Amino acid sequence: MNNIIISVKNLVKNYGNFQAVKSISFDVHEGEIFGLLGPNGAGKSTTLEIIETLREKTSGEVLVNGFDLDKQPDEIKKMIGVQLQTSGYYPNLTLVELITLFNGLYNRNADPMALLEMVNLKDKAKSKVKELSGGQRQRFSVATTLINDPKIVFLDEPTTGLDPQARRNLWELIRNIRKKGTTVIMTTHYMDEAEVLCDRVAIIDAGKIIVEDTPDRLIDHLVSTGFERPKEMKHANLEDVFISLTGHSLRED
Ligand code: ADP
Ligand code: MG
């Protein structure tokens, strides 16, 4: 088993009288794609933002690459890449100009064209964010998480609202990030996405983690209890038909 790079113990977050995160514990292993999987309101973003040092916790312990969130938040900030909402970007700057701006903010020297190539947006180098499709915007926002060469990338619902092609392009991109040795922690409420993309998932509901394991083992466990799908599965679904007819390529470009 790989080293534990994020360790969360008994994390609690209260908003006034409301307990949004109810003493959860989980570990993320170095080099994996870890998914926090749960419905809207489960506490996924709250949990992610606490680890990202962007939100105060009520209680509990968080260690990121050995650094204690309470004592060394600046060390944690340096080694993580956090996806921001693209709506917050300066609308009149081009993608290259934005990356250059972020380079300045992070005191880094990332090559804008290499980053854009990584997320398949080289052709759009001189475009503005407002001129991009939804999937392209999401890929660009993932590119911005890589500027400071992070050890861990945080993605909060990176594929929500995207069409099937754009989702698959983003999955490919996330796998490529992991291939380079970067750990990815992401949230999603798409079960199919977690199943094909995540090495391990924690299922979170109403502020509690119900289970944490690989998708395979969770499914095998359910099957071993005698569970059977009510209907025999076909070898493809409507999404496969759609992708097959319209093409896997970057049609959104
Ligand atoms: P998720 O990302 O899983 O959809 P969130 O972490 O955003 O869930 O929210 C968890 C719960 O906490 C929800 O019930 C939400 O309404 C509540 N919540 C989130 N942020 C705040 C806040 N700033 N003040 C009060 N309640 C909040
Ligand atoms: Mg959320």
> For the whole model, what pTM was predicted?
0.92
Instruction: Give the model's pLDDT for residue 7.
Output: 98
Phi, psi for residue 128 in degrees, rounded to 5: -95, 155
Mean pLDDT of 213-222: 92
pLDDT band at 51 (very low <50, low <70, confident <90, very high): very high
Residue 157 alpha carbon to ligand 2 centre in Å? 7
Instruction: Give the model's pLDDT for residue 253.
Output: 54
Tokens of 136: 């392209």
Pocket of ligand 1 (CB under 6 A): 15, 20, 38, 40-46
Q: Which atom of ligand 1 is closest in space to residue 39's alpha carbon?
A: 3
Mean pLDDT of 77-101: 87
- Which position has the higher pLDDT, 42 or 241? 42
Residue 212 alpha carbon to ligand 1 centre in Å? 21
Residue for token pair 């790079």:
5
- Checking if the pLDDT of 164 tops 80, the result is yes
Instruction: Give the model's pLDDT for residue 249.
Output: 61
Instruction: Give the model's pLDDT for residue 92.
Output: 86
Q: What is the DSSP string of 81-149?
A: EE---GGGS-TTSBHHHHHHHHHHHHT----HHHHHHHTT-GGGTTSBGGGS-HHHHHHHHHHHHTTT-
Instruction: Give the model's pLDDT for residue 72.
Output: 98
pLDDT band at 240 (very low <50, low <70, confident <90, very high): confident
Instruction: Give the model's pLDDT for residue 231.
Output: 74
Residue 10 alpha carbon to ligand 1 centre in Å? 18
| Strand pairing report for 4-15 and 59-64 | antiparallel
Pocket probe mutation, ligand 1, options 15, 19, 52, max atoms within 8 Å of Cβ: 15
> Which residue owns the Cα nearest ligand 1 atom 20?
46
Pocket probe mutation, ligand 1, options 11, 13, 46, 85, max atoms within 8 Å of Cβ: 46
Average pLDDT, the chain: 92
Mean pLDDT of 216-224: 91
Residue 64 alpha carbon to ligand 1 centre in Å? 23
- Checking if the pLDDT of 233 tops 80, the result is no
> Which ligand does the CA of 157 lie closest to?
2
- Which position has the higher pLDDT, 87 or 112? 112
Q: Which atom of ligand 1 is closest in space to residue 36's alpha carbon?
A: 3
Q: Which atom of ligand 1 is closest in space to residue 189's alpha carbon?
A: 3
Least Cα distance to 117 among 33, 164, 176, 166 occurs for 176
- Checking if the pLDDT of 58 tops 70, the result is yes
